[in-house]
Structure 1
Amino acid sequence: MGAWSTLEYIAISAESAASGSDFYLTSVPPSLVEDLPESLSQYIGAPLKVTSREVTQLSEVRADRVCLLDPRAEKELSPADAEVFDAFIFGGILDRTAELRKYGYQGRQLGKLQMTTDTAVRVTRMVIEEQRPLVSIPYMDYPELKLNKHESTQMPFRYVKGEDGEPYMPEGMLELIKKDADKGFDDFF
């Protein structure tokens, strides 16, 4: 599991624990299930449940109460959806959403701009649990992050704006981005 995903999954796990929600990672290769990063281990069991099964195979998830977060959905997620759905699927990695559409889940979108997975989960929680309409959530689109005195990078995502006015990112993410920026071209291969 990559460092970026690990930080996102830690953030999702911590926020899920705080809200009393479960967080399922499905379709995880068996070799990875047994070799998850140690930093995630404190969350395994509650709230984090890791399985090699597909979401369609989870007996604890009723298909008629599942919402597929889908950028192509016609309807936006709204606070009223708290009465309609019990589970939310985030499948955007490598366009996994396209594969999940075939199961007929009802879809909702979070707007047209791409979000990181932890941001999409955070926004969904704000809408469903806090009953906030999407338009009331403060966003930062494509924020520019200062890496050092001379360098910055623009992130190609929408983030929730934190109370400090900065994009709300998982703990350690800015440091990871700075570390990646220090790598030479050959370090990525």
Structure 2
Amino acid sequence: MTNPTPNPPQHGHGPQGGWGPTPPAPQAPPNLPVRNRQRIKYGATAAVALFVGIGIGAAGGEPASGETSDTKAGPRPTVTVTETAPGEAAPAPTVTETVTAQPKKAEPVGPATTFSGEGEYLVGEDIKPGTYKTAGPEGEFGCYWERAKDASGEFGSIIANNNLEGPGRVTLNKGEYFKTNRCQEWKRVS
């Protein structure tokens, strides 16, 4: 588009130091249209999202919900050891040995030999018979324990009971119920 009014002559210092015409000032490039700026912005956003996705994929992550991983029973780790035999300039053969680790056998679960100072336990099923000790009360109100012939909670079912202000011991026989309140952990000593 041409300017309808002619540019007035510019005056300034010429090449010999005198006054003469001055060349016009360079014009700034026109601003990019809004649509081009939007394309650049969306393209940059897409590139960043692509790189983030590649990084997440390379990291391995866990399977998403609904996806399943290998659900066979028992761990089966495999260790692969690769050794390279020493050689000359030619490539040496590679020896690969695969060793499968065996999982440790779990000990059979049975009655406990240590237990919380709060609860009711069946001797022989929940806890092992024997003599147990505690360091005493968990707080300031004392430690209560009770041996009972059944779990009825009736006064007549109590074999023995005590309130401890300090450490204490009790011997428990198979088939009895042992109730403990506000005590520190009980540990079997024999």
Give the shorter-chain TM-score range: under 0.3
Larger gyration radius, structure 1 or structure 2: 2
Which structure has the highest helix share of the two?
Answer: 1
TM-score (structure 1 length as normaliser): 0.17
Which structure has the highest strand share of the two?
Answer: 2
